[in-house]
Amino acid sequence: MLVSSYINTYDLLIDRNNSSKIGAVSTAVSNRKELREQASEALDGIAKQDVFKEKFNLKAIKKSIRNAENGNKIVEDAIFSKKNGDFVANSNKLVSNFDPTVRPWFKGAVSKDGSTFFSKPFLSVTTNQYTISVSKVIKNKYGQAGVLSFNVSYSIVQSGIENLKIGRTGNVMLVSDDGIVIASKNKKLIGKSIKKTSLYKAVVGSSKTKGSVIPKGSSKVQAAYFDKGGSNQTFAVAQTKANELNLELGSLVRNSIVISLIMIIIVIAISILTTKILKQIFGVLKAYFEKAGNGELELIEDKKLDNANLFRTTKTMVKADDSGNEIQVLSASFNKMAKSISELVTKIQHEGDNVAKKSDTLFTLAQQTDTATEEVAKTITGIAEVTSVQAQETEKSVEQVKDLSKVVQELRENITEMTKKSTEASNLNGENIQIAGNVDSNWNQELVRMEKLNNSMNELNNNVKNINKIVNVINGISQQTNLLALNASIEAASAGEAGKGFSVVASEIRKLSEQTKESTNEIEKIIEIITEQSAEMAQQTNESLLGGEKQSALIKEAIDSSTEIFNKNKDVAKKISDVENASKSIEKIQTRVLSNLESVSASTEENAAGTEEVSANSEEVLATMEEFTGNVAELRNISKKLKKDLAEKFKVIE
């Protein structure tokens, strides 16, 4: 801006100087023209006198021109000469052999033949001033001809231009065509030759009658304005020196420096104020984000900002507004994020409630299974006792078989209950899939702001679902263990070839026991992961502000995982149906067992050893189920702890 002001001022000063140059040259040209006009009028006035109409009387003519010279200030050194060289003159400084017919004014007048002739400027020997000769051929009524002439000094032009003002250093001159200064504001130049100067060469070399030229080696400030005025004898020119604008430009530079310093001070003050405002803005945002990192999801509200000790601009900039500036949009996005996190934590707490409830149900089922297993163990022990006295207590054996039928019936009822629970689990899985779809939709809206946070939440969600999967596997194992236990009890009561199944049943029970232990180990690992993730959740909440690009993909994976669990639940339901069919087969076998009780006595000794082995295995199964029941109880406690930690870690401050 200052550079532009400098340039504009510089151009204005140039224009001002050019205007003064044009005015000065116009004045000089006007004075020159006026001089010539006055000289021409004076010459015509003298020529009209009667003395020039009659026969030429040199004595009378001398008197006439003396009177004319005395009566008109511009007339100097008047002279009249006949064509034969006879002349009269007012000047007494003429040489003795003066011949007017060879003088330029005489020849010029003759060449004009009745028109006024103006000679080139010359330095008058009588006045020591630059002068021009005005001459004209005069003819009387007798046919005589002579030349009337007088000198006109340029003092009139000089007096008109010496008081002109052309800037501070400018000068205006009237220059002859041979480069002699005949009039000048700077009187020291009068009579000097400028023919060798670049100024003279530029003016003479221009094809224009008037205009501006910049002499070679000169600056724009030194541009000269000239006017040749249609005359080939003189031209007027005005020019300023190179330092013409130094005073004004120096003052402008000083003023510009002062203005620059003032502007710098203003900019610094504005910068300091802006910095304070920005520090307040980012300080407010930092405080809210730190609270969010610590689990306190406080919303950025206008009322809280108005009560804070902040600049008004800071309050305006930080207020949440979806259609405002970038910081206002950020505040609005932060509020949306806080609300979304709150909703997500609420949903996770709800899912934790579901896990706790399912854990309670699973714990109840485990207790029932443990009771059933204990009853099976007791039954097997009873079978062993019955086997030892089978011959004497066949009737008691029949009653025990009937008791076994009741157990089988109870097992069928448990299976029916498990089928119902499995159906409920499938329905819950369907609801989980729908909930995961809703979470996917919500997180897609918060994708940019919730990347890392959602990633951690989804991993936690996946681990919880993995716990459900493992619980379902353990549930399946417990059901199969129950089935194998029943088969073992039935085989123990079988006779003949049926006794060979004890080894197979025992082997399957051992495998199921190992699988149960592996599942329990997986549960422990997942529980450990959940515990670690709960500890890291606060840290990941801070990092979650960097965005959530992967959240949608993870949620989709969660949906796929839920769908897979849903399909596996269907498989479990099918297996439970298979178990139910197997229980029906057991009832049929019971009928055959009752019909074969009469042959039990014969195989008592052979079965005794088998019943002891089955009794030992049943004890091992009972111990496994007790361990399983303990793990389920621990899972239930962990679910409740997870819900409590989420409730304590995250809270929304209204």
pLDDT category, 211, cuts 50, 70, 90? very high
**pLDDT at residue 135, rounded to an integer:** 94
Q: Tell me phi and psi for residue 494, to 5 degrees.
A: -80, 160
Residue that has been written with the tokens 């724009």 in this structure: 220
| Element spanning 368, H or E | helix 326-388
Alpha helices in 195-325 (DSSP H): 198-205, 246-293, 302-307, 312-318
Summarised one tens digit per residue, pLDDT across range 498-507 is 666 666 665 6
Report which of 79, 58, 59 is spatially closest to residue 68, judged by C-alpha positions: 79
The answer to whether the CB of 321 falls within 8 A of the CB of 332 is yes
**pLDDT at residue 286, rounded to an integer:** 82
Q: Do domains 36-153 and 155-247 have the same CATH topology?
A: yes
Average pLDDT over residues 12-32: 89
User: 6 vs 240, 265, 331, CA distance in Å?
Assistant: 20, 21, 46
Answer CATH for 349-642 from 3.40.50.150, 1.10.287.950, 1.10.10.10, 1.10.150.300: 1.10.287.950
- Given a cut of 70, is residue 122 above it in pLDDT? yes
Tell which wins on pLDDT, 520 or 7. Answer: 7
Least confidently predicted of 76-90, 132-146, 181-195, 555-569: 555-569
d(CA 406, CA 410): 6
SS3 sequence, 545-567? Answer: HHCCCCHHHHHHHHHHHHHHHHH
Tokens of 443: 């997180």
Share of the chain above pLDDT 70, in %: 70
**pLDDT at residue 581, rounded to an integer:** 75
Average pLDDT over residues 91-110: 88
The answer to whether the CB of 297 falls within 8 A of the CB of 340 is no
**pLDDT at residue 486, rounded to an integer:** 66
Tell which wins on pLDDT, 108 or 584. Answer: 108
d(CA 237, CA 185): 11
The answer to whether the CB of 70 falls within 8 A of the CB of 77 is no
Average pLDDT over residues 473-479: 67
d(CA 138, CA 120): 21
Mean per-residue pLDDT of the chain? 78
- Given a cut of 70, is residue 520 above it in pLDDT? no
Residue that has been written with the tokens 């069919």 in this structure: 581
Tell which wins on pLDDT, 531 or 250. Answer: 250
- Given a cut of 60, is residue 391 above it in pLDDT? no
First to last CA, the chain: 51
Query: Among positive and negative, which fits the CA dihedral 560, 561, 562, 567?
Result: positive
The answer to whether the CB of 628 falls within 8 A of the CB of 524 is no
Range among 84-93, 593-602, 613-622 with highest mean pLDDT value: 84-93
- Quick one: DSSP state of residue 116? -
**pLDDT at residue 154, rounded to an integer:** 87
- Given a cut of 70, is residue 19 above it in pLDDT? yes
Maximal C-alpha separation, the chain = 202
Tokens of 231: 């005359």
The answer to whether the CB of 234 falls within 8 A of the CB of 121 is yes
**pLDDT at residue 171, rounded to an integer:** 93
Tell which wins on pLDDT, 566 or 141. Answer: 141
pLDDT category, 304, cuts 50, 70, 90? confident
Q: Can you name the residues that pair with 138 across neighbouring β-strands?
A: 146
- Given a cut of 90, is residue 555 above it in pLDDT? no
Mention every residue, 6+ apart, whose C-beta is less than 8 A from residue 473: 515, 519
- Given a cut of 70, is residue 452 above it in pLDDT? no
Q: How many CA atoms lie within 13 A of 394 on its CB side?
A: 13
CA 322 to chain centre: 18
Mention every residue, 6+ apart, whose C-beta is less than 8 A from residue 39: 74, 118, 132, 134, 150, 152
d(CA 554, CA 457): 10
425: left (phi over 0), alpha (psi -120 to 50) or beta: alpha
**pLDDT at residue 184, rounded to an integer:** 92
Residues 352-357: contacts with CB within 8 Å, 24+ apart? 352/464, 352/639, 352/640, 352/642, 352/643, 352/646, 353/643, 354/428, 355/464, 355/467, 355/468, 355/639, 355/642, 356/636, 356/639, 356/640, 356/643
Least confidently predicted of 12-16, 97-101, 305-309: 305-309
**pLDDT at residue 80, rounded to an integer:** 94
Reduce the DSSP state of residue 19 to 3 states and report it: helix
pLDDT category, 198, cuts 50, 70, 90? very high
CA dihedral 617, 623, 626, 632 (to 10 degrees): -90
Tokens of 486: 């029943």
Superfamily for the 36-153 domain: PAS domain (3.30.450.20)
- Given a cut of 80, is residue 410 above it in pLDDT? no
Alpha helices in 389-450 (DSSP H): 394-445
Tokens of 538: 């606060």
Task: Write down how long the chain is.
Answer: 654
- Given a cut of 90, is residue 163 above it in pLDDT? no
pLDDT category, 173, cuts 50, 70, 90? very high
CATH code for residues 155-247: 3.30.450.20
d(CA 593, CA 589): 6
- Given a cut of 80, is residue 532 above it in pLDDT? no
**pLDDT at residue 148, rounded to an integer:** 94
Average pLDDT over residues 62-76: 89
**pLDDT at residue 548, rounded to an integer:** 54
Average pLDDT over residues 398-425: 70
d(CA 257, CA 249): 12
d(CA 45, CA 59): 19
**pLDDT at residue 4, rounded to an integer:** 73
Q: How many CA atoms lie within 13 A of 155 on its CB side?
A: 12
- Given a cut of 90, is residue 22 above it in pLDDT? yes
- Given a cut of 60, is residue 26 above it in pLDDT? yes
Q: What residues does each domain of the chain span?
A: 36-153, 155-247, 252-324, 349-642
Buried/exposed 587-614: b ≥16 CB within 10 Å, e otherwise: eebbeebeebbeebbebbeebeebbebb
Q: Tell me phi and psi for residue 143, to 5 degrees.
A: 90, 0
Query: Among positive and negative, which fits the CA dihedral 102, 104, 105, 110?
Result: positive
Q: Tell me phi and psi for residue 592, to 5 degrees.
A: -70, -35
- Pairing state of beta strands 224-227 and 130-139? unpaired
